[in-house]
Chains A and B, each alone.
Chain A
Amino acid sequence: MNLRLSYFSLMICIALILAACQPAPESPGLTVAAAASLNNAFNEIGSVFTAQTGIPVAFSYAATGTLAEQIRNGAPFDIFAAADTARIHELAMQGFITSESQVVFAYGEVSLVIDPERGLNIQSFSDLGHIPIDRFTIANPKIAPYGSAAQAILENARLWTQLEEQLIFGESVRQSLQYIESGEIPAGILPNSLLQNSMLTIIPIDDTRYEPVAHEAGILAASPNTSQAERFIQFLYSPQGQAILAQHGLTPISTP
């Protein structure tokens, strides 16, 4: 018995040591911190960019505010592609992002999203105030620019106080979308860039109700891969990159 158990413990120790001695994970290419709204568009941008340049890209998606705070705490990203301009400018002022690298590469719009299986009789945005909804989701306005855009829309339509009790904040727009897709929450306001292949009912929101969200990118001052990062940013506003962004529901920048 003792022999079997000592084999067992020896095996555990060997397994632990072997697992601990794997080569350290390294990033062979670029690491891009990207706003959650860019999830679908950047997955495609990344695979096309890698196919063309041979540079692998890894994306870390989260709310813009979350990523900005990670960068302030030393996160080793090469590029930050945000869903606003204010945070990029602030990071540039604080020296985390090189000021010459900042570029707005797309604009994003939002829609009212309804779970078709709930049978809510909402045909247009203005119906929102007249139909009782038990819960409504937007991304947390404190950290997600699309969340604060949604908040502004609801406030301007004088619906904020009416819906405030029903609001469930997603940690990012991805989480809010997941709440609706899983059937937990019947409706919300989300970026069009996550809704391209969605089975949900999508109701446009008139762009007079809000300012489209500007997506700005910048290269981190601490990035060791500046020239590769520059190629990625160039790809973002190249005709091909802009076409991919447009396919995913983003508005390209007007090319000169």
Chain B
Amino acid sequence: MTIPLLLSLRVAALSALLAAIGGITLASLLAHKQGLFWHLIDGIINLPLVLPPTVLGYYLLITLSQRSPLGSWLGSLGIHLTFTWGGAVVAASIVALPLVTQSARAAIESVPSELLDVARTLGRAPLAIFLTITLPLAWRGVLAGIVLAFARALGEFGATLMIAGNIPGQTQTLPIAIYDAVQAGESARANQLSLLLTSAAIVLLVSIRMLTNRISRT
């Protein structure tokens, strides 16, 4: 029971970190942008929210498989992303990315533009403005997005099963261990693991609520 839990925590944490880096970068690029081109970019980032996990898993499998150019190139560098825990991280990061991006974008867009204008007229560089003014003011929304990304990554199942398989100790995360226990008729194990995952999800969702509630109050 602890092995799938530890693996899940590891995969979800790494995915949340990767999604945080990617999502904050994308959110800062997308904030206040209008027009078809930016809508298209926004749409592509949000695709994992609406695509069936099987489609996402299939795309990942054909792009990262040893038979694909990218997969064989990564393989020559010693990086194997199919049927390894690394593959689970890739799947969970992609699924979690739009959650950070959306949440961070809304938070960044809510920062008063006068403050940024003042900083600009005082000669601050754009990156410095972003790091010292925008992020400190938007951090609640950004952090809520990261926690949501972590929770989503913890629960990722469909694409992970396709890209990483069901190998105990290596790619068998909590959701996949539950699937395996149900298939094997081990209902006690399935109950325990499901309860564990549900409790973790509740804790995470409550902490997101606490973070976002304070946004609306301030």
By a beta-carbon cutoff of 8 Å, the part of chain A in contact with chain B is 5, 8-9, 12, 15-20, 22, 24-27, 31, 36, 39, 58-62, 70, 72-77, 171-172, 174-175, 177-178, 181
- The distance from the CB of A71 to the nearest CB of chain B, in whole angstroms, is 9
Q: Which residues of A contact B12 (CB under 8 A)?
A: 19
Contact of A58 with B168 in the complex, beta carbons under 8 Å: yes
Q: Which of B13, B169, B183 contacts A19 (CB 8 A)?
A: B13
Query: In whole angstroms, how far apart are the Cα atoms of A172 and B182 in the complex?
Result: 12
Interface size on B, residues (CB 8 A): 39
B46 at the interface (CB under 8 A from A): no
B67 at the interface (CB under 8 A from A): yes
- The distance from the CB of B190 to the nearest CB of chain A, in whole angstroms, is 10
Contact of B169 with A58 in the complex, beta carbons under 8 Å: yes
Contact of B83 with A25 in the complex, beta carbons under 8 Å: no
Query: In whole angstroms, how far apart are the Cα atoms of A27 and B150 in the complex?
Result: 25
Q: Which residues of A contact B9 (CB under 8 A)?
A: 19, 22
Query: In whole angstroms, how far apart are the Cα atoms of A74 and B139 in the complex?
Result: 41
Contact of B180 with A61 in the complex, beta carbons under 8 Å: yes
Q: Which residues of B contact A72 (CB under 8 A)?
A: 67
Contact of A16 with B13 in the complex, beta carbons under 8 Å: yes
Query: In whole angstroms, how far apart are the Cα atoms of A193 and B143 in the complex?
Result: 51
Given A22-B10, A60-B165, also A73-B65 (CB < 8 A) = yes
Query: In whole angstroms, how far apart are the Cα atoms of A31 and B165 in the complex?
Result: 12
Q: Which residues of A contact B13 (CB under 8 A)?
A: 15-20
Query: In whole angstroms, how far apart are the Cα atoms of A17 and B71 in the complex?
Result: 27
Q: Which of A5, A61, A77 contacts B184 (CB 8 A)?
A: A61
Some 6 contacts from A to B, beta carbons below 8 A apart, are: A5-B214, A12-B146, A17-B17, A19-B9, A25-B169, A76-B80
Q: Which residues of B contact A175 (CB under 8 A)?
A: 183
By a beta-carbon cutoff of 8 Å, the part of chain B in contact with chain A is 6-7, 9-10, 12-14, 16-17, 61, 65-67, 71, 75, 80, 82-85, 139-140, 143, 146-147, 150, 165-170, 180, 182-185, 207, 214
Contact of B83 with A74 in the complex, beta carbons under 8 Å: yes
Q: Which of A5, A8, A19, A177 has the most CB of B within 10 A?
A: A19
Q: Which of B65, B143, B169, B184 contacts A27 (CB 8 A)?
A: B169
Q: Which of B65, B67, B84, B170 has the most CB of A within 10 A?
A: B170
Given A12-B146, A22-B6, also A174-B16 (CB < 8 A) = no
Given A59-B168, A60-B165, A70-B165, also A16-B180 (CB < 8 A) = no
Given A12-B143, A19-B13, also A25-B7 (CB < 8 A) = yes
Query: In whole angstroms, how far apart are the Cα atoms of A39 and B184 in the complex?
Result: 7
Contact of A9 with B169 in the complex, beta carbons under 8 Å: no
